[in-house]
Amino acid sequence: MQKMPQWADVILVPLISLILAGALSALVILAIGESPYEAVKIMVQGAFGTTNGWGYTLYYATSFIFTGLAVAVAFHAAMFNIGGEGQAMIGGLGAALVCLFVPFPHWTFALLGGFGAAMLFGAAWAFIPAYLQAKRGSHIVITTIMFNFIAAAVLNYLLVNVLRPTGGMDPATAKFPEPTHLPTLHDMLLPLGIQFSKSAPANVSLIMALLACVFVWLLIWRTRLGYEIRALGHSESGAIYAGISAPKVAIISMLISGALAGGMAINNVMGEAERLVMNSVEGAGFIGIAVALMGRNHPFGVLLAAILFGFLYQGGAELALWTSIPSELIVVIQALVILFTGALDNMVRMPLERLFLSLRRTEP
Amino acid sequence: MTFMKSLLSAAAATALCAGAALAEPALIFDLGGKFDKSFNEAAFTGAERWVEETGGSFREIELKSEAQREQALRRFAENGNNPIVMTGFAFGNVLSEVAPDYPDTKFTLIDMVVDAPNVRSVVFNEHEGSYLVGMMAAKASKSGTVGFIGGMDIPLIRKFACGYVQGVKAVNPDATVIQNMTGTTPAAWNDPVKGSELTKAQISQGADVVYAAAGGTGVGVLQTAADEGILSIGVDSNQNYMHPGKVLTSMLKRVDNAVYDAMTAGTDIETGIYVMGVANGGIDYALDEFNAPLVDDDMAALVDGAKAEISNGTITVHDYMSDNTCPVE
C-alpha cells in the first residue's frame, strides 16, 4: 500500500522542494542587495516572455530530455549511469563524423544518419563499463565517471590533431556542409504562420526528444524487455530466480542508456553549433541525473524537469546579461534547485508521508 | 494570464527604452572568467581605465556555456550596445554569423580574425613576446634547464611554447626546455593546484625558471616557484607584483590597450585586422620596481636589442600556427 496518494508523490513533493529552493535563493539575492522580485521577473520573462527566450529554454530542455531519459532507463535496471557526459561527447563525435564525411542529399537523411551514428557511438561508449559491471563486478559509478575523462581526452586528441581544419585555431571540426543543417523552430513554424525567433537554437531535435520520451515509456512499461529491466532493478536475485539473465539485461539497459545520451548530439552538435567543439556537452550529462531524479525516472516527469532546468539555464543567462548579480551566485541558485529537488528529496517526502499517514488514521 | 501579459509587455517596454537611451559599449568575457589575473582580467583593466577617464559605463557578461556566445552577442546588439568587445578566439565562428545581421553595430574581436565590414579583429604576435622572455629565462637560468607550463593543449599555447623555446635556444643552444600542458579541457585554464604540481615536477628535473602561459592556472605556478625559490615568468597581464623579486618578468599582451582603444573609439571605430606585435607596442616584456633587481644591464641590453631586431625584421620568430610545426624542441 502506498503511504501517500499518487498526486502528492508526483506533484506536491517537487512543488514544495521548488518553493523551498526558491525561498532560499530569494534570501541569497536579498543578501547581495538585489531585489528577488526583479530577478524572478527577468528570469521568467527571459525564458518564457519571448519566442527567443522559449527557443533557448527548449534548446536546453531538449538536451536534458535525452540525458535525463538515459539516466532513467539505466536506473530502472538499478544501474547508476554517471557517464552521460562522456557518452554524449562520443555521440557528438559520431554525429560529426557522418556529417563531415557522408554526403547527405537532404537534412532528413542527415538527421537520421546523424542520430543513428550518435546513438551507436554513445552506446558503444556505455558498453565497456556495462560489460565490466555485469561480468567483472567493477562498480558502474566508478567506471562510467572515469570514462567521462577518457572521452574528453579522446575528443581533445581528435579535435586538436586530426579533425581540426588546417589553419584553424579553435579546437573544433570544420563547419558541417549545408545539407546537414537541421531546421530550427523558426523554419518549422513559419509555414504554419507562426513567427518564431530566427536566432534561437531550438530545432527539430525537440521532436526527436519527445519521440524518445514516448519510446522510453513504451519500452519500460509495455514490453517484455522493459519488464525484465524493472524486475532486475527491484531485485536482482528475484529476477534471476524468474529466469532473467541479469548480466544480459544490465548490459542492454546500459546500451539503451548510452544511445539516448549519445543521441543528444543531434541537438547541440548538429542543431546548434553545426560543428563539433570541445565542450559541446557542457554538463548536460550531469544535469540529466538531477532531471531523472526529479522526474521520478518517468518520461513525462523527465520532460517537465528538463523544461524546468532549461528555464534555469536560460533565465540564469538573462540574469547575467541584465543584472549585476555575479555569475557565481546564479550557479548557486541553480545548485539550490538541484539540491532540493534531487538530493534532499526525502527531507520533504518523509514529513509529508507522516502527515498523510496520520490523516488516514484519523479517518474511521 | 492577461495580468501576466501586461506585466511582461511592460517589462519589455522598459527594457527597450533603456536600450534606446544608452549606446554604451559591451564587453563579453570568455569561459576563463573575468578575474583570471591574466587574459580576461587584462580586458577588464582596459575597460576600467576607459570608465575612469570618461566616466562612462559598460555592460559585461561572463559566459557560462557555448550556446551563450551567440545569445550574448545578439542580445547586446539588439539592446543597442555599441561597440561590442569580446575576448577569445572561440568567438570567431559565431561572430562571422552574427556580425552581418547587425550592420550598424561595431564588433571588436580579440585573438581571432573575422572578415566582416563591421568587425575589428585584433591579433597578437605572442610568439615574439615569448621569444623575448625565453631569452631572459636562458640568461637567468644557472642550471641550463628552464620550464614551460601551458594551459589547455591547443595550437595557441603551442605558439607561446615555440616562441619561448626559440628565445631560450637563441641565448643558450644547449639549454633544455621542459614543456608541460596543464590539461586537455577548458578546466586547464583555471587549475592552480595542477599548475603547482607541474612546477614542482619541473623543479625536480632541474628547471630554475618557469614560464606560465596558462591563464588562472599560472597563479599556482608563480606561487610554487616563489615558495621553492626559483624564478617564474608571468603572462598577458603584468604579474610581477604578485611575488616581488621572484617573478623574473611577464610577457605582456596588451589586451587592455585593445579594449581601451575600442571603447574610446566608440561607434566610430575603424574596422579591419589589427596585428599587435613587438613593433607597435602590443607585445612587450614587463620591467618595473618588482623585478628590477633581477634584470641586470646585460640582460636588459640583450632583450632590448632583440626587440629592436624583431621590430625591424632582422629576427623573424617562427609562428607555430603558420604551419603547425616548431623548428626547435
- pLDDT band at residue A347, thresholds of 50, 70 and 90? confident
Which of A50, A166, A282 is opposite residue B65, by nearest beta carbon?
A: A282
Higher pLDDT among residues B70 and A262, named by residue: A262
Max avg pLDDT among A259-263, B116-120, B276-280, B295-299 = A259-263
Contact A160 B154 (CB under 8 A): yes
Q: Which of A76-85, A259-268, B31-40, B140-149 bottoms out in mean pLDDT, i.e. has the lowest?
A: B31-40
Q: What is the pLDDT of residue A14?
A: 83
Write phi, then psi, for A188 (nearest 5 degrees): -75, -35
Q: Pick from A288, A285, A280: which is nearest to A96 by CA?
A: A280
> Cis omega before residue A247 (within 30°)?
no
Identify the bridge partners of residue B276 per DSSP, sorted by sequence position: B124
Which of A56, A171, A280 is opposite residue B66, by nearest beta carbon?
A: A280
Average pLDDT over residues B284-304: 92
Which residues from B are below 8 Å from A321, CB to CB? Answer: 59, 61, 72, 75-76
For the cut 50, the answer to whether the pLDDT of residue B13 exceeds it is no
pLDDT > 70: percent of chain B = 92
- pLDDT band at residue A348, thresholds of 50, 70 and 90? confident
Contact B62 A279 (CB under 8 A): no
Identify the bridge partners of residue B87 per DSSP, sorted by sequence position: B110
What are the residue boundaries of the structural domains of chain A, listed by start?
61-184+197-282
Q: What is the pLDDT of residue A102?
A: 93
Contact A50 B12 (CB under 8 A): yes
Which residues from B are below 8 Å from A169, CB to CB? Answer: 89, 92, 112, 154-156, 321
Residues of chain B with CATH 3.40.50.2300: 16-124+257-276, 126-252+296-323
Q: What is the pLDDT of residue B1?
A: 40
For the cut 70, the answer to whether the pLDDT of residue B30 exceeds it is yes
- pLDDT band at residue A294, thresholds of 50, 70 and 90? confident
What is the C-alpha to C-alpha distance for residues A282 and A269, in angstroms, rounded to an integer?
12
Q: What is the pLDDT of residue A86?
A: 96
Contact A199 B15 (CB under 8 A): no
What is the C-alpha to C-alpha distance for residues A152 and B79, in angstroms, rounded to an integer?
37
Distance from CA of B152 to the nearest CA of A (A): 10
Whether residue B68 lies within 8 A of chain A, CB to CB, comes out as yes
Average pLDDT over residues A339-364: 81
Q: Are A110 and A247 in contact (CB under 8 A)?
A: no
For the cut 80, the answer to whether the pLDDT of residue B12 exceeds it is no
What is the C-alpha to C-alpha distance for residues B170 and B144, in angstroms, rounded to an integer?
13
Q: What is the pLDDT of residue A32?
A: 86
For the cut 80, the answer to whether the pLDDT of residue B3 exceeds it is no
Q: Pick from B275, B233, B269, B262: which is nearest to B250 by CA?
A: B233
Which residues from A are below 8 Å from B121, CB to CB? Answer: none
Whether residue B15 lies within 8 A of chain A, CB to CB, comes out as yes
Average pLDDT over residues B90-102: 89
Which of B61, B93, B156 is opposite residue A321, by nearest beta carbon?
A: B61
Q: Which of A86-95, A232-241, A310-319 bottoms out in mean pLDDT, i.e. has the lowest?
A: A310-319
| Predicted ipTM beyond 0.85 | no
Using CA of residue B195, residue B197, residue B198, residue B202, what is the dihedral sign? positive
Q: What is the pLDDT of residues A239-248, one digit of tens each?
A: 999 999 999 9
Contact B93 A170 (CB under 8 A): yes
Q: What is the pLDDT of residue B32?
A: 67
Third-level CATH fold of B126-252+296-323? Rossmann fold (3.40.50)
Whether residue A199 lies within 8 A of chain B, CB to CB, comes out as yes
Average pLDDT score over chain B: 87
Return the residue in B58, B105, B184, B325 with the most chain A beta carbons within 10 A, the one to mutate for interface testing: B184
Whether residue B11 lies within 8 A of chain A, CB to CB, comes out as yes
Q: What is the pLDDT of residue B124?
A: 92
Q: What is the pLDDT of residue A89?
A: 96
What is the C-alpha to C-alpha distance for residues A69 and A119, in angstroms, rounded to an integer?
13
For the cut 50, the answer to whether the pLDDT of residue B14 exceeds it is no
What is the DSSP pairing of strand B209-213 with strand B231-236?
A: parallel
Q: What is the pLDDT of residues B108-152, one digit of tens each?
A: 999 888 999 999 999 999 999 999 999 999 999 999 999 999 998
Q: What is the pLDDT of residue B232?
A: 96
User: CA dihedral in degrees (B256, B257, B259, B265; nearest 10)?
Assistant: 160
What is the C-alpha to C-alpha distance for residues B45 and A286, in angstroms, rounded to an integer?
35
Q: Are A53 and A314 in contact (CB under 8 A)?
A: yes
For the cut 60, the answer to whether the pLDDT of residue B5 exceeds it is no
Whether residue A1 lies within 8 A of chain B, CB to CB, comes out as no
Q: What is the pLDDT of residues A315-346, one digit of tens each?
A: 988 888 888 888 788 888 888 888 887 777 78
pTM of the prediction? 0.81
What is the C-alpha to C-alpha distance for residues A213 and A349, in angstroms, rounded to an integer?
26
CA distances to A282, A293, B44, B68, B100 from B65, in Å: 7, 23, 20, 5, 23
AA letter at A218: L
pLDDT > 90: percent of chain A = 60
Identify the bridge partners of residue B86 per DSSP, sorted by sequence position: B28, B109
Q: What is the pLDDT of residues A273-287, one digit of tens each?
A: 889 988 889 889 999
Write phi, then psi, for A33 (nearest 5 degrees): 80, 20
Q: Which of A59-73, A194-208, B224-238 bottoms out in mean pLDDT, i.e. has the lowest?
A: A194-208
HSE value, Cβ hemisphere, 13 Å, CA-based, for A205: 33
Which residues from B are below 8 Å from A334, CB to CB? Answer: none
Average pLDDT score over chain A: 90
Q: What is the pLDDT of residue B17?
A: 40
Q: What is the pLDDT of residue A363?
A: 64
Which residues from B are below 8 Å from A153, CB to CB? Answer: 184
Q: What is the pLDDT of residue A2?
A: 67
B16-124+257-276 is classed in which CATH architecture?
A: 3-Layer(aba) Sandwich (3.40)
Which residues from A are below 8 Å from B62, CB to CB? Answer: 320, 327
AA letter at A38: E
For the cut 90, the answer to whether the pLDDT of residue A160 exceeds it is no
Distance from CA of B103 to the nearest CA of A (A): 16
Q: What is the pLDDT of residue A169?
A: 66
Contact A321 B72 (CB under 8 A): yes
Q: Are B241 and B88 in contact (CB under 8 A)?
A: no
- pLDDT band at residue A168, thresholds of 50, 70 and 90? low
Q: Which of A325-329, B12-16, B138-142, B163-167 bottoms out in mean pLDDT, i.e. has the lowest?
A: B12-16
